[in-house]
Amino acid sequence: MNPNGNAHVEFEGVSKSYDGQTDVVQNLNLRVKKGEFLTLLGPSGSGKTTCLMMLAGFEMPTAGSIRIDGRSVHNLPPHKRGIGMVFQNYALFPHMTVSGNLSFPLEVRGLNPEQRRERIRKALELVRLDGLQERRPAELSGGQQQRVAIARALVFEPSLVLMDEPLGALDRRLREELQYEIRRIQRSLKVTIVYVTHDQQEAMVMSDRVAVFQQGRVEQVASPEAIYEEPERRFVARFIGENNLLPGKVTAVEGDLCQVEIEGAIVKAFRVAPCRPGDMVTLAIRPERVCVAPDPEVYSNELEAKIEDLVFLGDHLRLRMNVHGRSDFIVKIPNIVGHGAVLEGDRVRIGWTPTDCRALEPVGEKGVTL
């Protein structure tokens, strides 16, 4: 960790245990830059919400330190950390109007009535709820209530906002709409946001960087594109999007590439995990990176396959193939030549480049903190 960087939030060696035996967060080292949108992504129970609660001050670390703007917040209560919070259940006061809900954090901070009115006006304009000041939460839709919750978190102009699954209770259309709205607001205000979700699409759409959690540890921290295109761990490759994962044995290493034997076939792959001939690895290939019926000798990796199942999904076809005895190999091809270009039962050749195939750690190896 670089103490001289522009870190807004720093976790250093942070662990959390509730029973003194099992760490739900293990030795977390993570920096969030000023003005960054960082998403903590992972399955339920992976430790991401616990990290958010420790940063907010609702939970205390068992070990390690948390700093905001270089200052330890270990002895600082939640209400003195100057953090805006947005929860999944909105947490609005039902007996108050929209204006009353937004006024509450301003009154606590001692702003006068004129200052409060101006802050409320700006906040509602920001979330596009002008004119709804006098409505109560029960008179608003779910999407409008969540916008009020976002406005309340921003109305006192914090430099850091924490969001815990804020869109989880909304339907798909509203979720997608608010994803872009939250991102728009964050960019316009240049506020730092730490966002928790288990939804991969949310993480990809909204984030500058994504920290992927598993069992209390961070598997990888990178931009959404790098997380998708360049997974460094088997768990990341499996959890983010769809990936074909093939176990195999390394037969040769050539610089950044290695040759891997899978069920009698030799595949060239980009070497991510350190490996030597004889080592077991897991090959990861995205379904959309596989070409069906390629021209001869275009790809260094070409295998025979049989189409077991075909699903039409509008803009693309999803093919389930049998490849060297494995019947769960997925390929996605654009629907540009019409349904019927390939059929169930067809035997075809498939191919992909070595750089689209990544050799990761073998099945069963645990992740490490990055």
pLDDT of residue 4: 44
Fill in the DSSP letter of residue 205: H
Q: How far apart (Å, rounded) are the C-alpha atoms in residues 200 and 327?
A: 26
Phi, psi of 80 (to 5 degrees): -105, 5
pLDDT in tens, 257-297: 999 999 889 999 999 988 999 999 999 999 999 999 878 87
115, 106 in Cβ contact below 8 A? yes
Measured in Å, how far apart are the chain's first and last C-alpha atoms? 11
Q: How far apart (Å, rounded) are the C-alpha atoms in residues 176 and 65?
A: 35
Are 172 and 213 within one domain? yes
pLDDT of residue 294: 79
The residues that bridge with 262 in the sheet, in sequence order, are 265
Question: Domain ends where: 193, 213, 234?
Answer: 234
pLDDT of residue 339: 57
Count of structural domains, the chain: 2
Are 222 and 249 within one domain? no
pLDDT of residue 367: 36
Are 96 and 189 within one domain? yes
| Sequence-separated (6 or more) residues with CB below 8 Å from residue 46 | 213, 214, 215, 216
Q: How far apart (Å, rounded) are the C-alpha atoms in residues 330 and 132?
A: 49
Are 155 and 206 within one domain? yes
Fill in the DSSP letter of residue 216: T
One-letter amino acid identity for 235? Answer: F
pLDDT in tens, 306-347: 999 999 888 888 999 999 888 999 999 988 755 567 889 999
Q: How far apart (Å, rounded) are the C-alpha atoms in residues 169 and 143?
A: 9
Q: Is residue 368 part of a domain?
A: no
Q: Is residue 367 part of a domain?
A: no
Are 293 and 198 within one domain? no
The residues that bridge with 352 in the sheet, in sequence order, are 301
Q: Where in the sequence is the domain holding 72, given as residue range(s)?
A: 7-234
Question: Domain ends where: 205, 234, 263?
Answer: 234
Q: Coil, strand, or helix at residue 137?
A: helix
Q: Which residues of the chain have pLDDT under 70?
A: 1-5, 337-340, 363-370
pLDDT of residue 5: 60
> Could you tell me the two tokens for 131?
């004119």
**CATH code of the domain covering residue 346:** 2.40.50.140
Predicted structure pTM score: 0.88
> Could you tell me the two tokens for 39?
């998403």
